[in-house]
Chain A
Amino acid sequence: MDGIILQILNGLDKGSAYALIALGLTLIFGTLGVVNFAHGALFMIGAFCAVFVQRLLNLSFETVDPGKTDFLGNPSMVKTPYIESWFGHDIGSAIIDWSVPLAVLFSIPVMILIGFVMERGLIKHFYKREHADQILVTFGLAIVLQEVIKAFYGANPIQTPAPEALSGIATLADGIVYPVWRIVYFCFATVIIGGVFAFLRFTTFGMVVRAGMEDRETVGLLGINIDRRFTIMFGIAAAVAGMAGVMYGPINAPNYHMGMDFLVLSFVVVVVGGMGSLPGAVAAGFLLGILESFASTTWATTTIPGINQIIIYLVAIIILLTRPRGLLGKKGVME
């Protein structure tokens, strides 16, 4: 029983990541009609925002410590972060400790900006083009983005630990312990998803965007500048992916190809959820996350060897064959 609860929690956690990426992907599909293969790269860049902030806070000046020597036998340098010298050791190290939450704040404007630049500079020119061309250009962009990150930060994973206070384990019930940060991640995802839905449902802006998703031409005929709103939606989608990336850092250390690892899965999630359906994307994200967790249990892998390797794809096939447009897909969207 405890095991089942733990796997549900794991599933919700994985599902949070899938759902957040799939949400952004669907926003872009739905609003702009663009297949964005660079969306995984946005997630990755988000994670590297955390790395950047961490490195920034750790910028240090060096002093020679005559007592110690480095690996070559030269006197070694001791690094003191500027932040610690400005604010004193205690406050300084506390700020560094909280670098991931700070990075979330940092990532929002950065990711929105990246989203705007991407949309205005590149994606805009591909609205009228075939999906094949969109795939090629965004895939090219994804490669370029990840290679740029690799050039700066290398190929190895870089840890971005959670703040000390949030990195322990929590006892949820008798015998059930779960990492605090994973709970935080799930709550964070819920808030973001709720926020995006509320934004689309309860604001005028959101209403226009929803109308545009339904029928772009009519909205345009009504004299509404739908393009500008779509650009903003692109920025929001990028920010969602970016924040998902920052928060994911403490769970698994960011590396430059994590975007590609998530890309294919998130496409599967989006399509299983149904094209053009935001609730579908979120539901599929959590569903696949939970199923993946259960398929990893010893019971499942001994019953069907290799099930943990293929579960997501198997479920995708079953759902797509029984429900032609995924869980909640709309008729005629990319069919």
Chain B
Amino acid sequence: MSKTNLTRRGVLKSGAVAGAGVALPTIFTASSAAAYTNEPTGGTVTLGFNVPQTGPYADEGADELRAYELAVEHLNGEGDGGMMPTFSSKELQGNGILGKKVNFVTGDTQTKSDAARASAKSMIEKDGAIMISGGSSSGVAVAVQGLCQEAGVIFMAGLTHSNDTTGKDKKANGFRHFFNGYMSAAALAPVLKNLYGTDRKAYHLTADYTWGWTQQESIAAATEAMGWETVNNVLTPLAATDFSSYIAPVLNSGADVLVLNHYGGNMVNSLTNAVQFGLRNKQVNGKNFEIVVPLFSRLMARGAGENIKGIVGSTNWHWSLQDEGSKAFVKSFGTKYGFPPSQAAHTVYCQTLLYADAAQRAGTFNPCGIVEALEGFEFDGLGNGKTLYRAEDHQCFKDVLVVKGKENPTSEFDLLEVVEVTPAAQVTYPPDHPMFAGGALGTCNPGA
């Protein structure tokens, strides 16, 4: 009895106070005074940087955060400006975005969909973030992208390599600068053909979850198209730490190439184990046995140590690139932190700049305005050459780097050497490619 009373009292009381104060319907409500979710009203605008700060990808997350801080500095006119002077669009003035000073909040994704969404929600609901960016895995990127679509804010994806992010799970409010499994495969295949010939038998070890599957599918399709045979594809549990029982069968399988569709700790361990079993020095069918790691990251390469030498893979960006944009970014980042940036840092820095520039060009923070400004946007000077943000799926199309573990590194950062820069045209695919089919972009959602 008193419980219902209480409820009523609670309601009455809040109603009374509501009468006294100014009751404003807020985000997520149909009838709102604001034009869109979290419309910045004061002299500042808040961006939300949602990166893994705990768990296995914490180091990558930390590097992303560094790049975000740097980007915010540059947007606010502090520091040396980084890639702002080399960026082909000259709208950004160094006075924040649209004259508003840029603030940021940070959160921890824990590399779990749930935690990442909780963190992003708190940024949107509590801190009034107008854009969410970051992440270091595809599951998280897709989950947060879905949330941002529903909430009516823009999502600028960080490190996410699964085809699904801009494939079957694409969303109008989400944008990906990073490359994907298909592009890795398209860039790698010609190089592999040159290096290892067309008569090869490939054995795939694949992380048993969506990213692993899409990458394996892409690589197998691309290598089979040039004449390779896929001998076997073995799915490995994400939780696996010792890969010996997956590597051992490779020895006598007749395969002469091992493709490791692993990332992070899985990649470090499976590669270490493969080298332990002598695969790098093995001869099969009269050829040298080769190992391929389709998605490389320098941070992870460091974890794999010596084992990485001579192993081919692809990467989104590398600090040793000599174009003006990359040089400016490496200089700016290196001066501030004392070591070169990772590809994750680069991609999130670009994303922040691209968002700011889009808002500047659109003249509004309204997500729909930003979507319009980014769709079909062509730019240059951010380190990957001429780049297009395709309107149909919000995927960036740019050059892809094929890299190889360096035999004689000169420093602890100098682990990869660029073998080839595959031009964007070669990795471009039609928006309705079967590997990306099944989803719908929907319409932009300004929330409110």
Q: Which 3 A-B pairs have the closest CB atoms?
A: A159-B305, A155-B58, A157-B303
Assuming the contacts A156-B299, A301-B234, asked whether A14 and B244 have C-beta atoms less than 8 A apart, the reply is yes
On whether the beta carbons of A155 and B57 are closer than 8 Å, the reply is yes
The verdict on B276 contacting chain A, using a C-beta distance below 8 Å, is: yes
Please pick, from B242, B249, B330, B340, the residue contacting A3 in the complex, using a CB distance under 8 A: B249
Please pick, from B235, B276, B278, the residue contacting A251 in the complex, using a CB distance under 8 A: B276
Which residues of chain A have C-beta atoms less than 8 A from B248's C-beta? 3, 6-7, 9-10
On whether the beta carbons of A177 and B245 are closer than 8 Å, the reply is no
**Residue on A with the closest CB to B232?**
A298
B residues near A (Cβ < 8 Å) are 55-59, 62, 208, 232, 234-237, 239, 241-242, 244-246, 248-249, 251-252, 265, 268-269, 272-273, 276-278, 299-300, 302-307, 319-320, 330-331, 334-335, 339-340, 410-411, 413-414
CB distance from A286 to the nearest CB of B (A): 14
**Residue on A with the closest CB to B277?**
A179
On whether the beta carbons of A2 and B276 are closer than 8 Å, the reply is no
On whether the beta carbons of B300 and A156 are closer than 8 Å, the reply is yes
Assuming the contacts A155-B56, A252-B273, asked whether A72 and B252 have C-beta atoms less than 8 A apart, the reply is no
On whether the beta carbons of B305 and A177 are closer than 8 Å, the reply is no
Which residues of chain B have C-beta atoms less than 8 A from A9's C-beta? 248
CA distance A197 to B299 in the complex (A): 43
Assuming the contacts A169-B277, A179-B276, asked whether A257 and B55 have C-beta atoms less than 8 A apart, the reply is yes
CA distance A28 to B377 in the complex (A): 63
The verdict on A297 contacting chain B, using a C-beta distance below 8 Å, is: yes
Please pick, from B58, B235, B300, B331, the residue contacting A301 in the complex, using a CB distance under 8 A: B235
Given contacts A159-B304, A253-B304, A257-B56, 8 further A-B contacts (CB under 8 A): A3-B249, A157-B265, A175-B252, A179-B278, A182-B276, A296-B234, A301-B234, A301-B235
CB distance from B309 to the nearest CB of A (A): 12
On whether the beta carbons of A158 and B237 are closer than 8 Å, the reply is no
CB distance from B135 to the nearest CB of A (A): 16
Assuming the contacts A182-B244, A296-B246, asked whether A155 and B55 have C-beta atoms less than 8 A apart, the reply is yes
CA distance A144 to B307 in the complex (A): 31
On whether the beta carbons of A296 and B245 are closer than 8 Å, the reply is yes
> What are 6 of the A-B contact pairs (CB < 8 Å)?
A14-B244, A155-B62, A156-B59, A253-B305, A261-B239, A308-B236
Interface size class of A (residues with CB under 8 A): 35 or more
Q: Which secondary structure characterizes the binding site on chain B?
A: helix
Tell me the A251-304 residues at the B interface (CB within 8 Å).
251-253, 255, 257-258, 261, 292-294, 296-298, 301
On whether the beta carbons of A157 and B268 are closer than 8 Å, the reply is yes
On whether the beta carbons of B234 and A298 are closer than 8 Å, the reply is yes
Which residues of chain A have C-beta atoms less than 8 A from B62's C-beta? 155
Which residues of chain B have C-beta atoms less than 8 A from A71's C-beta? 319-320, 330, 334, 339-340, 411, 413-414
On whether the beta carbons of A6 and B242 are closer than 8 Å, the reply is no
**Residue on B with the closest CB to A72?**
B334
**Residue on B with the closest CB to A17?**
B242
CA distance A175 to B414 in the complex (A): 37
Which residues of chain A have C-beta atoms less than 8 A from B208's C-beta? 309
Which residues of chain B have C-beta atoms less than 8 A from A13's C-beta? 242, 244
Which residues of chain A have C-beta atoms less than 8 A from B56's C-beta? 155, 255, 257
Assuming the contacts A72-B335, A76-B410, A155-B57, asked whether A7 and B272 have C-beta atoms less than 8 A apart, the reply is no
**Residue on B with the closest CB to A73?**
B331
On whether the beta carbons of B411 and A150 are closer than 8 Å, the reply is no
On whether the beta carbons of A308 and B276 are closer than 8 Å, the reply is no
Which residues of chain B have C-beta atoms less than 8 A from A181's C-beta? 276
**Residue on B with the closest CB to A294?**
B245
Which residues of chain B have C-beta atoms less than 8 A from A17's C-beta? 242
**Residue on A with the closest CB to B300?**
A156
Which residues of chain A have C-beta atoms less than 8 A from B236's C-beta? 296, 308
The verdict on A161 contacting chain B, using a C-beta distance below 8 Å, is: yes
Which residues of chain A have C-beta atoms less than 8 A from B59's C-beta? 154-156
CA distance A120 to B341 in the complex (A): 45
The verdict on A168 contacting chain B, using a C-beta distance below 8 Å, is: yes
**Residue on A with the closest CB to B341?**
A71
CB distance from A44 to the nearest CB of B (A): 12
CA distance A261 to B55 in the complex (A): 12
Assuming the contacts A156-B300, A252-B272, A255-B56, asked whether A177 and B235 have C-beta atoms less than 8 A apart, the reply is no
CB distance from B70 to the nearest CB of A (A): 15
Assuming the contacts A159-B306, A177-B277, A253-B268, asked whether A309 and B237 have C-beta atoms less than 8 A apart, the reply is yes
The verdict on A70 contacting chain B, using a C-beta distance below 8 Å, is: yes
The verdict on A89 contacting chain B, using a C-beta distance below 8 Å, is: no
CA distance A2 to B59 in the complex (A): 40
Which residues of chain B have C-beta atoms less than 8 A from A168's C-beta? 278
Please pick, from B234, B245, B276, B306, the residue contacting A292 in the complex, using a CB distance under 8 A: B245
On whether the beta carbons of B269 and A252 are closer than 8 Å, the reply is yes
Which residues of chain B have C-beta atoms less than 8 A from A2's C-beta? 252
